[in-house]
Structure 1
Amino acid sequence: MLSILAILALTSIGQSAFTPLKDGYPVISNKSTIANVEQLAGGHAGTYPPAPTLDVDDRTSWAVLAFSSLSTIALYNELIANITNHVPGYDISSHNESYIIQSLEFFVGAAEIQYYDAEWAVTGFNGSKVRPCEYDFPVTDFESAIDYAIRLSYIFIGHIPDMVQRTANNLGTGGANIIFNLAGWSSVYGQQNGWLRSLLGKPPSVQPVSTPAPRDFLYSFIYQTSVVPGSCPGASLPVQRYEPLVLTTEDVKDTQIEFEFTNKANVDVESNHSLVYLNGNIAPLTVPFNISSNHDNKVKVTADFPHDTWEMDGLTLVSVVKGIGNFSFPIDVANATLFGPALIVYN
């Protein structure tokens, strides 16, 4: 079972340092450590033959995957600690507490296996180790923690198609083993996402196809919402880290919605910029926005949200991009993004 002592002193203010496993995880130095992780996860780390090669771009994607797995581990560790220590807001006596904790522990184990596999892929091809940061998750009670976990799992799932596309482009048939493994990861997180949604009384699934999330979106989302500034050891990963785009409309419907962002770089957003929506199997939707306020670099914009036209249930990712044209793929959107991603979870 996971050690929770390192986060107990911080739980009351919502901040947690990463909680290591026994034997110094994530630095796995012996076979007994990985055996403990596999027992917790209910399955083994990958034993399939590795890819014959892994270029720098694909190695970066695996590093982002390892980075996101560590934040997932920390989130569930904190949630388990808050429940078991009866922190105010985390009383789930009306639920089956032991069942929920057991499920969350399996989720932790799965994320640990995924981190181990991703870390092996990175370091096996001469990449740098990915180590945990400290985290301050934007949660105050059980419901908000589950809601955040849903969003994190959504965007993690969306990162898998991005990795598959990059791998196919970079390695061709040489990437078949990688794609084989990634498909299994996506299904596990889909199961977890549906279970988490059911805890909040929502249907387990509301989209036929998950929303794709470029790796820059996943990396930026975790940094913006949970990483304590200056707490990450080592160099930053070579991906874009955007300035935040905040959804300020509380009740999102098929109407105009409002976002805000801080324009630190004084970008001329009043011309040749637009919003892009990513949702499910729909090609990126580019829409114009209107600036409702622009003062002291604080910019508020409004734009149409065409939910009913496109049946945009589930996760929608939103970003402010340079340009007003259409984009073919999410990777193209990521390359043009200046602010984002904002997350809309509809239904």
Structure 2
Amino acid sequence: MHTTSITAAALLGLSAFAAALPTTDTSSSQSSEASTVDAGSDAFEFPLANGFPNITAAKDKDIIALIQAQALGTLAQPGNTTANATKPTGASILGQGFVAFNELMEVAFFTELISNVTNNAPGYGPDDITGDRDQILAILKVHEAQEELHQLNAAGAFTKNSGGQVVEPCKYNFPVSNFAESIRLAATFTDVVIGTLPAIQTIFGKNGDAGLIRGVGASLGQEGEQDGFYRQYLGLAPAGLPFNTQSAVSLAFSAVVQSFIVADSCPQTLELFQNPSFTLEGLTLFDVLTPITDLGNGKEDIQDAEFAGTPVQVNAVAVNSLVAENLCITYLNQNNGPISFKAAVTGGSDKKTFTAPFPGRSLGFSGLVITTVTTGTVDGCGAFLNADDVAAATKFGPFLFEADNFIDDLINDSSSSSTTISETETSTAAPTATN
């Protein structure tokens, strides 16, 4: 049995490994090295050796040209994919800002990963990488440069439309200790991004900012191409799901902050998103949710799965989740409707434990599963239509879990079993959710 879980909060438990990863600057790896990070540092810090993110297309054309050459393409030009008939409205601007914020994290991640591979850091040497190491390194450099262009594109649009606001970088820790863990993290968080960008496209559409959709859609396709590479390296089906697991902007925001941001390293940036001046409603940073129960491969029913809820430790506006009552465990998987179970809640003022069913088998969990603790009522959990509804009711989360589909398992299943999905579903009694 393959057992794999990546959690936006539980990943913090691996942060000590990230602190030990060498990230020595070497001039031989072009723009992929951080100029302010050296061996022994406990966090990744911008800028890069090429000045990123403190560069613009207008004043740094030579630098942009080098990034474009490495990225195998050009920075999006206004008028084709990013034109909008009118100035975007508040929530659309917030979406642009979140993309810029998330891309900073991705550039930091890939820069550190490339540095570790280039310098044969422990866990990243030739014996730790399966396949053609030079080819893999070349692909990662392409991805890193493409993320730089994503960030520059979103950051420029955000600054223009928000009245001059700038998304400043944070300091980052990545909770991984070797190459395989790094690729696993890349695959899982790319799944989150793929589930969140459609939420931003939906915001654009609702706000009449349809001219912005094409640009986000273009980067969405690129993220999917990346994900297939990471998944195949891990022995997973490259296309993990027919419909990717839906997410929401606040869920992804919390996942980034809880998992990768060094506490107190960017209070102005977090304040910018939680209390923006350009829109009435900001993003919520939820408290932390981690599993207590071993969820195995995520494909079995567990009647009494336990999760722990604790206050987020990163500088943020308090959500006061520990005093909430009538709480539910809510699951998002694939593009299906959210499902909730009333949670038994125990604990005191510093930590809560939530107990509810985990219906992995009966609901056919596959790929990314997003778990949150949401508000309910005395009698039930309410009916959520989509991830946005879930985010609006969330107090703790997200816990990110991969119910994996390994290629070897698919081969073995097809040769040893003729059981169909419908036969499996009809033979399994699902736990009862409350609405």
Q: Tell me the TM-score normalised to structure 1 length.
A: 0.92
**CA distance in structure 1 between the partners assigned to 2:286 and 2:388 by the alignment:** 14
SS in structure 1 opposite 2:148?
A: helix
Between 31-40 and 2-11, the greater mean CA deviation after superposition: 2-11
- Mapping of residues 1-347 of structure 1, within 5 Å: 1-4=30-33, 5-10=35-40, 15-28=43-56, 29-49=59-79, 50-52=83-85, 53-93=87-127, 94-125=130-161, 126-171=163-208, 175-232=209-266, 234-236=268-270, 237-238=273-274, 239-250=283-294, 251=296, 252-256=298-302, 257-262=305-310, 265=320, 267-269=322-324, 271-291=325-345, 293-295=346-348, 297-323=350-376, 324-347=381-404
Q: Root-mean-square deviation (CA), in Å? A: 1.9
**CA distance in structure 2 between the partners assigned to 1:263 and 1:6 by the alignment:** 31
**CA distance in structure 1 between the partners assigned to 2:32 and 2:198 by the alignment:** 34
| Pair 345,127 (structure 1): closer, same or farther in 2 beyond 3 Å | farther
SS in structure 1 opposite 2:154?
A: helix
The share of aligned pairs that are identical, in percent, is 27
Shift of 1:92: 3.6
Shift of 1:158: 1.1
SS in structure 1 opposite 2:97?
A: helix
**CA distance in structure 2 between the partners assigned to 1:105 and 1:167 by the alignment:** 31
SS in structure 1 opposite 2:187?
A: helix
Answer whether contact 1:159 1:215 (CA < 8 A) is retained.
yes
SS in structure 2 opposite 1:2?
A: helix
Shift of 1:127: 4.6
| Pair 143,24 (structure 1): closer, same or farther in 2 beyond 3 Å | closer
The superposition leaves residues 193-242 of structure 1 with CA deviations (integer Å, 9 ceiling, x where unpaired) of 11111121111122111112111111111110111111126342131111
**CA distance in structure 2 between the partners assigned to 1:31 and 1:247 by the alignment:** 48
Answer whether contact 1:320 1:339 (CA < 8 A) is retained.
yes
SS in structure 2 opposite 1:51?
A: coil
SS in structure 1 opposite 2:172?
A: strand
Shift of 1:328: 1.3
**CA distance in structure 2 between the partners assigned to 1:60 and 1:245 by the alignment:** 25
**CA distance in structure 1 between the partners assigned to 2:245 and 2:159 by the alignment:** 29
Please list every run of 5 or more consecutive structure 1 residues that lacks an aligned counterpart in the other structure.
none
Bigger RCO of structures 1 and 2 (CA < 8 A, at least 6 apart): 2
Shift of 1:295: 4.2
Partner of 2:427: none
Aligned residues between the structures: 340
Answer whether contact 2:287 2:321 (CA < 8 A) is retained.
no
Amino acid at match of 1:102: A
The superposition leaves residues 4-29 of structure 1 with CA deviations (integer Å, 9 ceiling, x where unpaired) of 25333236x5x322351414533323
Amino acid at match of 2:291: L
Amino acid at match of 1:51: N
Answer whether contact 2:98 2:253 (CA < 8 A) is retained.
yes
Please list every run of 5 or more consecutive structure 2 residues that lacks an aligned counterpart in the other structure.
1-29, 275-282, 313-319, 405-435
**CA distance in structure 2 between the partners assigned to 1:73 and 1:170 by the alignment:** 29
**CA distance in structure 1 between the partners assigned to 2:267 and 2:67 by the alignment:** 23
Answer whether contact 1:242 1:337 (CA < 8 A) is retained.
yes
SS in structure 1 opposite 2:356?
A: strand
**CA distance in structure 2 between the partners assigned to 1:187 and 1:109 by the alignment:** 16
Q: Tell me the TM-score normalised to structure 2 length.
A: 0.74
| Pair 3,201 (structure 1): closer, same or farther in 2 beyond 3 Å | closer
SS in structure 2 opposite 1:128?
A: coil
Shift of 1:296: 5.1
| Pair 198,19 (structure 1): closer, same or farther in 2 beyond 3 Å | farther
**CA distance in structure 1 between the partners assigned to 2:285 and 2:348 by the alignment:** 24
SS in structure 1 opposite 2:288?
A: coil
SS in structure 2 opposite 1:310?
A: coil
Amino acid at match of 2:307: F
| Pair 92,255 (structure 1): closer, same or farther in 2 beyond 3 Å | farther
SS in structure 1 opposite 2:147?
A: helix
Shift of 1:99: 0.9
SS in structure 2 opposite 1:326?
A: coil
